[in-house]
Amino acid sequence: MSLEAGRMFDRIRGPSEGGGVPRAHQTGATVLTLTNHAQDAVRALTQDPQAPESAGLRIASSSEGLELMIVAEPLPGDALIDDDGARVFVEPQAASLLNEQTLDAQVEGDQVNFFLAAPGEISEPDFDDD
């Protein structure tokens, strides 16, 4: 499954209009892990100078599968994953699909492709032994 995230910043505000979301490793029932590539990609997308400090990658269910978007903060009910500064918000309906899955990413130029990695198929960095 290939997932793509754009650089659009939705100004979604929750009940705590001015405040950020408390930093926690993971809240909610979702057990989604991120590879190092996915962490790097999420941080690169959310640390844009125009993005608020609480920005994260939101994964939500849609009629065509899963939708990824950069948002200012999670919506009420979203599970929060904060993996070394890579913030991912998972909508409750998507959480059941992503339970015990691994999110990976591949960067090609200025395009980031997110995908769910099967166990044993997680991408590893390329090292030159020269």
User: pLDDT of 14-54, one tens digit each?
Assistant: 323 333 333 335 555 557 899 999 999 999 999 888 888 89
Both structure tokens of 117: 């990695």
* Angle in degrees, CA 128, 129, 130, rounded to 5: 95
Whether pLDDT at 122 is above 80 = no
CATH superfamily of 2-11+28-112: HesB-like domain (2.60.300.12)
Q: How confident is the model at residue 60 (pLDDT cuts 50, 70, 90)?
A: very high
When comparing pLDDT for 84 and 14, which is higher? Answer: 84
Question: In this prediction, what percent of the chain has a pLDDT beyond 70?
Answer: 67
Return the pLDDT at 84.
Answer: 86
The Cα 3–Cα 38 span in angstroms is 12
Return the pLDDT at 117.
Answer: 84
- In one-letter notation, the amino acid at residue 4 is E
Average pLDDT score over residue span 87-101: 90
Q: What 3-state class would DSSP assign to 88?
A: strand
Is residue 76 within 8 A of residue 42, CB to CB? The reply is no
The Cα 4–Cα 15 span in angstroms is 28
pTM beyond 0.85, yes or no: no
Whether pLDDT at 102 is above 90 = yes
Q: What 3-state class would DSSP assign to 36?
A: helix
- Least confidently predicted of 29-38, 53-62, 98-107: 29-38
Whether pLDDT at 98 is above 70 = yes
When comparing pLDDT for 66 and 99, which is higher? Answer: 66
